[in-house]
Amino acid sequence: MDNEDFAFIEEQIGYEFENKMLLQQAFIRRSYSQEHPESENNEILEFIGDKALDFIIVRALSDYYGNYTDDDEYYNEFKEGKLTEIKKRLVESKMLAERISLLSFQDYLIMGRGDCQKNIQNETHVKEDLFEAIVGAVALDSDWDIDSLDTVIGMMLDYEHYLENGFTGNDNFTTMIQQWSQKKNLDFPYYEFAESD
């Protein structure tokens, strides 16, 4: 990966790495590190990212659907089962893989020869692993900064859209533009994000 690749990925996730090698490691598959023993792969970052993702999503669900009563007790409009179902939908393999596809991050994977020959970068579990590894890299690089993790997961997963609109995706215009661009074999759309009041 070069500086241009780093800059593109960082812009898409809303986070600039202090340690660019952590970002690169997030994209290194075990097949590559087996061929290049001096390189660490992304498996431990996946583990870290999986836990960070769970935490941020549970936090988002508790904020989005819950509040405090007049007696300062916490109330949530959904029971545990419904919250578990929503969380499961947000972090399931298919969802994470689709989000990686929309970002075209699988194209940056660093893989061994066998993985390259099998086009393994297109497999759902590989894209899911990459999503989690990127989150894990951010967790370590930011020293577990909650705001950084929330920003990155928010931009990569767009979970607020699903909390607002459900899981049909029919009116997620970002997704629609990306899918249209891919069908037309156009360049990946360039996005700029700005906070609004």
Q: Which of the residues are catalytic? A: 50, 132
Structure confidence at residue 179 (pLDDT): 56
**pLDDT in the model for residue 177:** 66
CA distances from 123 to 30, 55, 74, 91, 96 (A): 15, 26, 41, 16, 12
Residue 171 confidence (pLDDT): 47
Output the six-digit token pair for 20: 């660019």
pLDDT confidence of residue 180: 61
Predicted local distance difference test score (pLDDT) of residue 170? 45
Residues near 96 by Cβ (< 8 Å), separated by ≥ 6?
127, 128, 131, 132, 157
152 touches 134 (CB < 8 A): yes
Partners of residue 8 on adjacent β-strands: none
Quick one: tokens of 134? 């990127």
Question: Using CA atoms, how far apart are residues 171 and 107, in angstroms rounded to an integer?
Answer: 26
Query: Which ranges of 66-123 would DSSP assign to H, the alpha helix?
Result: 80-91, 93-103, 113-117
Per-residue pLDDT of the chain (197 residues; tens, 9 = 90+): 889 999 999 999 999 999 999 999 999 999 999 999 999 999 999 999 999 999 999 999 999 999 999 999 999 999 999 999 999 999 999 999 999 999 999 999 999 999 988 988 999 999 999 999 999 999 999 999 999 999 999 999 999 988 888 876 444 556 556 656 655 666 666 666 566 55
Structural contact between residues 13 and 155, judged by C-beta atoms closer than 8 angstroms:
yes
Cα 172 to its chain centre, rounded Å, is: 17
Look-up of token digits 């859209």: 161
